């Protein structure tokens, strides 16, 4: 009976994992196609598409560069915006600090298409539509809710007596922030940075409305050529992105507290 139950559970978990992995595996295999069409199983397996994506075709090379640059820059901007917001929320927990947190979470909570359309209008008025700057700020605003959440979790996990201890040893509030609170919440800040990075990397809806034709990211490039169908070179992009996600989340899991970040046990002290 026990063995049967355990077997059923394992079977369920395994089939769920297979279902999640199936389209990803199919895409990875499709990257090996020799021809221009996406066939599964792949025909004339070759690694030439990898060369095209990373080296020879400037469209993809540039798009990848833009993706990486925008992802890092917007993650940095998002963390810089998120820190004061999360700090005020934790330190004062006042009406306005809660309002700030709510407003900064709005772009992420509401359908991104609406925010994207609005950002398109806003950058058009500012005459910045199509600039990389607009792309970075747009992604930072869209995703700032993530670092606000992770940093808030980090701040709440601090044992308050650490702060009291710093004060009794002569630390002012600013010194305590620098020497105790920032180092203790560093893993959470870094996690927030990388969450933002990965989501920016994969985002294309908002980018579609703010990018014009001056530049394009990998996902946007695929989105724009959607009507012509998918090609195996795009599948190489997919592999790159999956690898980046697994790497980043694997690192967060290794050096941070992933179950805690996902809210498993905030009640635990």
In the region spanning residues 13 to 42, those forming contacts with another protein, defined by CB under 8 A, are: 13, 16-17, 19-20, 22-24, 26-27, 30, 37-40
Instruction: Report, in Å, the least distance between residue 252 CB and another protein.
Output: 8
Residue among 3, 4, 5, 58 that touches another protein (CB under 8 A): 5
Instruction: Report, in Å, the least distance between residue 50 CB and another protein.
Output: 16
Residue 62, burial from CB neighbour count under 10 angstroms (0-12, 13-18, 19+): middle
What is the DSSP code (8-state) at residue 226? G
Which CB, 48 or 171, lies closer to another protein? 171
Q: Which residue has the tokens 């203790």?
A: 184
d(CA 254, CA 251): 5
Which CB, 55 or 246, lies closer to another protein? 246
Could you tell me the two tokens for 31?
């990257």
d(CA 163, CA 39): 60
Which CB, 44 or 173, lies closer to another protein? 173
Instruction: Report, in Å, the least distance between residue 100 CB and another protein.
Output: 6
- Per CB under 8 A, 118 contacts another protein: yes
Instruction: List C-alpha distances in Å: 80 to 150, 153, 192, 238.
Output: 13, 16, 11, 29
In this structure, the number of other CB atoms found within 10 A of the CB of residue 227 comes to 5
User: How many binding residues for another protein (CB under 8 A)?
Assistant: 103
- Per CB under 8 A, 172 contacts another protein: yes
- Per CB under 8 A, 159 contacts another protein: yes
Which positions from 69 through 108 interact with another protein, judged by CB under 8 A?
A: 81, 84-85, 89-94, 96, 100, 103-104, 106-107
Residue among 64, 129, 166, 236 that touches another protein (CB under 8 A): 166
- Per CB under 8 A, 163 contacts another protein: yes
Could you tell me the two tokens for 174?
């600013």
Contact 160, 126 (CB under 8 A): no
Sign of the alpha-carbon torsion through 133, 139, 141, 144 = negative
Instruction: Report, in Å, the least distance between residue 56 CB and another protein.
Output: 21
Residue among 3, 127, 183, 228 that touches another protein (CB under 8 A): 183
Residue 55 makes CB contacts below 8 A (sequence gap 6+) with: 61
Which CB, 47 or 106, lies closer to another protein? 106
């Amino acid at each position: 009976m026990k063995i049967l139950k355990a077997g059923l559970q394992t079977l369920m978990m395994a089939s769920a994992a297979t279902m999640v992995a199936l389209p990803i595996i199919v895409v990875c295999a499709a990257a090996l196609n020799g021809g221009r069409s996406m066939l599964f199983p792949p025909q004339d397996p070759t690694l030439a598409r990898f060369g095209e994506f990373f080296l020879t075709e400037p469209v993809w090379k540039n798009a990848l560069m833009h993706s990486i640059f925008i992802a890092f820059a917007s993650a940095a901007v998002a963390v810089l915006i998120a820190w004061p917001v999360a700090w005020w929320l934790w330190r004062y927990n006042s009406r306005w600090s809660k309002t700030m947190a709510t407003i900064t979470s709005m772009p992420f909570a509401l359908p991104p298409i609406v925010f994207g359309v609005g950002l398109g209008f806003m950058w058009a008025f500012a005459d910045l539509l199509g600039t990389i700057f607009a792309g970075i700020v747009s992604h930072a605003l869209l995703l700032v809710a993530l670092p606000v959440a992770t940093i808030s979790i980090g701040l709440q996990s601090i044992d308050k007596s650490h702060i009291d201890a710093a004060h009794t040893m002569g630390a002012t509030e600013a010194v305590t922030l620098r020497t105790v609170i920032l180092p203790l919440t560093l893993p959470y800040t870094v996690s927030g940075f990388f969450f933002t990075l990965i989501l920016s990397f994969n985002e294309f809806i908002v980018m579609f409305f703010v990018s014009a034709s001056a530049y394009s990211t990998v996902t946007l490039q695929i989105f724009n050529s959607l009507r012509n169908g998918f090609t195996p070179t795009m599948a190489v992009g997919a592999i790159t992105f999956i690898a980046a996600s697994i790497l980043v989340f694997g690192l967060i899991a290794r050096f941070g507290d992933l179950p805690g970040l996902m809210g498993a046990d905030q009640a635990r002290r």
